[in-house]
Amino acid sequence: MRTFAALAATTAAATAVLAGTPTAGAERLHTVSPGDDIVTTAADGDQQCTLGYTFTNPAGRTYGITAGHCNSHRSSSVTDRTTGAIGHFVLTVGNPDEPLDDDYGLIDFGASRSVPVMYGMPVTGISAPTSTTTVCHDGIRTAVACGALHDRLVGTQFTTSGMPRSIPGDSGGPVWQPSRTGATVIGIWLGEHIEPDGPRYGRFTGLTDVLADIANYAALTSTNA
């Protein structure tokens, strides 16, 4: 079970490295950012998705988060087609037969540099969703779409309303809430949820929950660094 202290420490670490100063020579490296176009390469085919969140851990290694079902073919590599960065999945969580289960993937981009900017808009932080602010998501097929937080669907998943239909390729992209100074990333886009009686909603998983789960893999806390 997660504790509030553990979640707070993980979130603080991820936020701190998000705003960190690039190391010497970083300008020669590829970059990765939320909203980038990524493709996973596997023996049985490629899969196109969107990168949802990026960060560099205290040891200087850069990671990206996307939807777990973006690695359904168990890829050998991931290419950021926006910048040319190359990485690989180090953690994939998801069950294609149970879309309401946890669904996220962690990509190791090595020495690439995380740039906290989406479409020129700075990523100013991360948080849990709030119902009082507009919710937006970005996908490589739909581009930016905004609506409202509808409800908590189940576990760490939430639904949105008032957005156009999600298109394959949008999965894994950033979900955020705008502020006066930029964007607060709140989740990773998963696609749609359709109720038995017909209503269609957008669907995403909460970013703070994902960061708490991946802390050991990404060495986000001092005890795991």
Q: Tens digit of pLDDT for each residue in 185-197?
A: 999 999 878 777 7
In this prediction, residue 171 has a pLDDT band, given cuts at 50, 70 and 90, of: very high
Q: Strand, coil or helix: what is 28?
A: helix
> Of the candidates 53, 38, 58, 189, which has an alpha carbon nearest to the alpha carbon of residue 123?
53
Q: Strand, coil or helix: what is 1?
A: coil
Q: What is the pLDDT of residue 220?
A: 66
DSSP 131-189: TTS-EEEEETTTEEEEEEEEEEEETTEEEEES-PPP-TT-TT-EEEEE-SSSEEEEEEE
pLDDT at 123 over 90: yes
pLDDT at 51 over 80: yes
Strand 121-126 to 183-194 pairing:
parallel
pLDDT tens digits along 15-45: 444 434 444 444 457 999 999 999 998 878 8
Task: Average the pLDDT over 78-104 and give the result.
Answer: 89
In this prediction, residue 48 has a pLDDT band, given cuts at 50, 70 and 90, of: very high
Backbone angles phi, psi at 105, to 5 degrees: -135, 145
Q: What is the pLDDT of residue 96?
A: 73
Give the domains, in start order, of the chain with CATH numbers.
Answer: 22-116 (2.40.10.10), 121-207 (2.40.10.10)
Burial class of 133 by CB neighbour count within 10 A (0 to 12, 13 to 18, 19+):
middle
Burial class of 187 by CB neighbour count within 10 A (0 to 12, 13 to 18, 19+):
buried
The fraction of the chain above a pLDDT of 90, given in percent, is 55
pLDDT at 14 over 70: no
Contact predicate 104/205, CB 8 Å: yes
pTM exceeding 0.75: yes
Mean confidence (pLDDT) of the chain:
83
Q: What is the pLDDT of residue 224?
A: 30
Q: What is the pLDDT of residue 23?
A: 43
